[in-house]
């Protein structure tokens, strides 16, 4: 109930900016340096994570299917120091995160409908520390604030919806590193307790033909604060609230519609207008779903 109230309040604030004055920040930005990972494709540096202990950045290079290691000892003069191939453990790297000298990499399987893996690498020595199995298509991962757990958004995306096609369930893997990487354990928070009829009645989009809610919900991104994780379900236009210690999905909160026909709202971008048909509405509708992708949590004091 407390989480539901907090989510409801956050939703009200998000759609009613007049209720709270935005904080005033004195922030200035300037370009310092750039560096190439050596790839010529669009995915040459898709996800980047920085490790303060080693003063290195680790970048997912999905074009060449490796992990780029960038020396940022001098941020004004970055150096591409190394690349790490993980082909033996999976087909593609999807995300990277760091904590206190430890690098975690999400690696999907081949085919992507099979369970993936999370690989751990020492940020200083660049040596392999271990790996664990997770759900299908691990798309994003994040350390908890104390570094004792890694949360993984397993998208569980099907190849298609044709008869006989494999459609794995979406889930959130919770990796316990309390006893170290070598003794890591994994639990799964899934959506098997929810039915598509129940969720549709709440305004949560579950639409895949012939699928259960657990198959259709595809975790996209995670943020965590304390014992609670918030997981975006982009295609469902919702956020799942997960209790980390018990590895349980407590609730799923719909994000509703945004009415662009009302005065004072920003014009809907053409690409968004053109894509609203995928939400089950006509391309001319003025109340599309927000369809959340990334999310982040922060603490602030006035």
pLDDT digits (tens, 9 = 90+) for 114-168: 999 999 999 999 999 999 999 999 999 999 999 999 999 999 999 888 888 899 9
DSSP 286: S
CATH of 2-16+41-257, one of 2.60.120.580, 3.10.580.10, 2.130.10.10, 3.40.50.720: 2.130.10.10
Give the per-residue pLDDT at 293.
67
The confidence band for 263, taking pLDDT boundaries of 50, 70 and 90, is confident
DSSP string, 124-144: TT--EEEEEEEEESEEEEEE-
Q: What is the pLDDT of residue 298?
A: 62
**What gap in Å lies between CA 273 and CA 264, rounded to an integer?**
18
Measure Cα distances from 264 to 18, 30, 255, 261 in Å. 11, 32, 20, 9
Identify the burial level of 25 via C-beta atoms within 10 angstroms of its C-beta, where 0-12 means exposed, 13-18 middle and 19 or more buried. Answer: exposed
Average pLDDT, the chain: 84
Q: What is the pLDDT of residues 36-79, one digit of tens each?
A: 888 777 777 889 999 999 999 999 988 888 899 999 999 999 99
- Residue 290's pLDDT is 64
Instruction: List CB contacts of 93: < 8 A, sequence separation 6 or more.
Output: 60, 61, 62, 65, 66, 67, 86, 105, 106, 107
Give the CA dihedral 197, 202, 207, 210, nearest 10 degrees. -10
């Amino acid at each position: 109930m407390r989480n539901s109230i907090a989510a409801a309040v956050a939703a009200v604030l998000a759609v009613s900016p007049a209720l709270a004055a935005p904080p005033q920040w004195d922030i200035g930005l300037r370009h310092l340096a750039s560096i190439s990972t050596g790839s010529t494709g669009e995915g040459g540096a898709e996800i980047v994570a920085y490790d303060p202990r080693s003063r290195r950045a680790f970048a997912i290079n999905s074009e060449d299917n490796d992990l780029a290691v960038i020396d940022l000892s001098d941020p004004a003069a970055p150096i591409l120091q190394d690349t790490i191939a993980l082909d033996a453990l999976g087909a593609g790297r999807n995300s990277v995160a760091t904590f206190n000298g430890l690098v975690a990499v999400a690696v999907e399987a081949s085919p992507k409908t099979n369970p993936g893996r999370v690989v751990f690498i020492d940020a200083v020595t660049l040596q392999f520390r271990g790996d664990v199995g997770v759900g299908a298509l691990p798309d994003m991962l994040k350390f908890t604030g104390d570094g004792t757990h890694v949360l993984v958004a397993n998208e569980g995306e099907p190849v298609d919806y044709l008869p006989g096609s494999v459609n794995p369930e979406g889930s959130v893997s919770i990796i316990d590193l309390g006893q170290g990487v070598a003794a890591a354990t994994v639990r799964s928070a899934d959506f098997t307790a929810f039915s598509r009829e129940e969720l549709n009645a709440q305004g949560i989009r579950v639409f895949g033909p012939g699928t259960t809610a657990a198959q259709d919900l595809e975790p996209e991104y995670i943020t965590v604060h304390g014992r609670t994780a918030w997981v975006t379900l982009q295609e469902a236009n919702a956020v799942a609230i997960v209790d980390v210690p018990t590895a349980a999905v407590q609730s799923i909160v719909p994000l509703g519609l945004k009415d662009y026909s009302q005065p004072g709202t920003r014009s809907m971008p053409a690409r968004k207008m053109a894509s609203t048909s995928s939400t089950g509405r006509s391309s001319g509708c003025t109340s599309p779903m927000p369809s959340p992708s990334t999310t982040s949590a922060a603490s602030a004091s006035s």
